[in-house]
Amino acid sequence: MSRLNPQISIVGGGLAGSECAYQLAEMGHYVRLYEMRGTGTTTPAHKTDRLAELVCSNSLGSTTDYSAPGQLKWEAEQLGSLILRAARNAAVPAGMALGVDRDVFAAEITETLEKHPRIEIVREVVRSLDEIPRPAVIASGPLTDSALAESLRQHFDGEFMYFFDAIAPIIDADSINKFVAYKADRWGKGNRDYYNCPLNKEQYENLINEIKNARKIEPKEFEKDTPYFSGCMPVEAIVERGDQTLRFGPMSAKGLRNPMTNQPAYAVVQLRQDNKEGTAFNMVGFQTKMAYGEQVRVFRMIPGLENAEFLKLGSIHRNLYIQTPKKLTPELSSQKDDWLFFAGQITGVEGYFDSTCMGLLVAHFLNDKLNGRQISKPPRESALGSLLNGITEDNEYFQPTNINFALFPRPEGLTGKKKREQKDLKRKLQLDRAKSALVEWMRAKGLPLKIAWPPPAEVGAAEPEPDKLTETLHT
């Protein structure tokens, strides 16, 4: 394209599109943000026309400083993430996870972008790439409108990929039996934010059998070869891997003691607060493809949920994504059009905050390009750089991924130690290197630090316990 538009076009007002629009506007660029919700057209999962609406879960993942998701948030905070700021303002009790009130969260982001003097929000369905002036960012997400999806398919020579995503039910807090369900967080950490519904061996086995036998919503013929994303599998798909699989996943009772018996249960179902008022709780890890009536029947078998009132039932939908290593550049622009960028889940990242960070990075890439500079990618050692590398490096069997320690470069000098010591030391070294590398990159770009690094030494500060360098379950 020979002539660039003075405004940057962003298609999609989800997490990645909203973050990208805000960052570019703060850098001094004028942005036109297209969002089809509010025109009478919506997706199978969205319920409102607010920007950055959360549809599957209300958790943005772990905030612990010893986890990969926690490191990603530390880096995004350094870069002034709007989504992270809004999430903290809308936070609800969720242990070591960042759970939010969905309505408060989306309302703040919508108001911020609507009031920004350099952002124009256009409620319009974009049906073709040819309609969009360049420079442009496609952040339309995995539920892209069918007409635009067809335009993208043609642009990428017919190659698209899909996976199934699922939504967990939400329960009215007043209908939880508080004489059975108890509040606690694993290992006594946090502020007892989760309700835990305990099951004995017989109750667990009965629940598994009913999940197996319940009527499911079957995929259409053209969807039958579509895989599930491993981080958001329906409970039915987990059970297919073995009757005990749920006990070592979402229903693990590890680190939880029932205060009524002072004993751990055989299994638990955890409920996480879904709004500020504490009137709604979602079933952690209970994404499902069961028919609505079956969900009510089966889930009311869970102790503490005998009379549960469901504010929202679970569902499943098909998501699309690009085979990024083959179709996009390492800077997330199309290999056919270097002024056409992509951000968010459509690039093959999975998870709310991972999607957000791709929007944040694309804003920096576009800013460099528009200012005539060579695009500067975050260092490979950082969480942002590791996640970017994870979706752009050559990979014949590309699948969606979220941030995890396997994406970080392996540090040197770990020989001669016990396996557990190696694991803990490796993660500590990875996190320290990530912080240092990100800060060095920011300083080279002339960006101000939001958090001092390295932190000022604290007199008499204790060394962290080794077991605190492990990932948190189910956050």
pLDDT tens digits along 153-189 = 899 887 666 656 677 898 999 999 999 999 988 887 7
Give, in order, the Cα–Cα distances in Å from 435 to each of 71, 99, 355, 442: 8, 24, 20, 11
Query: How many percent of the chain have pLDDT more than 90?
Result: 59
- pLDDT class for 411, splitting at 50, 70, 90? confident
Cis status of the peptide bond prior to 135, with omega within 30 of 0: yes
Closest CA to 295 of 273, 313, 321: 313
- pLDDT class for 460, splitting at 50, 70, 90? very low
Span 273-283, average pLDDT: 89
Span 82-93, average pLDDT: 96
Q: Which residues pair with 9 in a beta bridge?
A: 32, 136
How long a stretch of residues is the chain? 475
pLDDT given at position 321:
81
Residue spans of alpha helices (H) in 187-313 = 201-213, 235-239, 292-299
pLDDT given at position 318:
67
Superfamily of domain 7-160+322-407: FAD/NAD(P)-binding domain (3.50.50.60)
Q: What is the DSSP string of 237-268?
A: HHHTT-TTGGGGTTT--TT--BTTTTB--SEE
pLDDT given at position 45:
58
Distance (Å, whole) CA 354 – CA 384? 9
- pLDDT class for 414, splitting at 50, 70, 90? low
Half-sphere exposure of 353 (CA within 13 A, CB side): 31
Distance (Å, whole) CA 233 – CA 286? 9
pLDDT given at position 26:
98
Distance (Å, whole) CA 54 – CA 274? 11
pLDDT given at position 209:
96
Q: How far is CA 144 from the centre of its chain?
A: 17
Answer yes or no: is pLDDT of 369 > 80. Answer: yes
pLDDT given at position 47:
73
Q: What is the largest CA-CA distance in the chain?
A: 72
Span 444-469, average pLDDT: 66
- pLDDT class for 224, splitting at 50, 70, 90? very low
- Establish whether domains 7-160+322-407 and 167-318 are of one fold: no
For the chain, the structural domain boundaries read: 7-160+322-407, 167-318
- Give the three-state DSSP class for 62: strand
Distance (Å, whole) CA 163 – CA 141? 13
Distance (Å, whole) CA 280 – CA 304? 15
Find the helix or strand (DSSP H, E) in which 92 lies.
strand 91-92
pLDDT given at position 225:
52
pLDDT tens digits along 42-82 = 666 567 789 999 987 889 999 999 999 999 999 999 999 99
Strand 182-183 and strand 195-199: the pairing is antiparallel
- pLDDT class for 37, splitting at 50, 70, 90? confident
pLDDT tens digits along 428-451 = 999 999 999 999 999 999 999 998
Span 78-107, average pLDDT: 95
Q: Which residue has the tokens 């369905």?
A: 125
Contact between residue 140 and residue 340 where contact means Cβ atoms under 8 Å apart: no
CATH class of 167-318: mainly beta
Query: How many percent of the chain have pLDDT more than 70?
Result: 86
pLDDT given at position 463:
42
pLDDT given at position 465:
42
pLDDT given at position 135:
97
Q: Among 108-112, 320-324, 371-375, where is mean pLDDT lowest? A: 320-324
Distance (Å, whole) CA 470 – CA 421? 11
Tokens of 149: 């999806």
DSSP one-letter code for 212? H
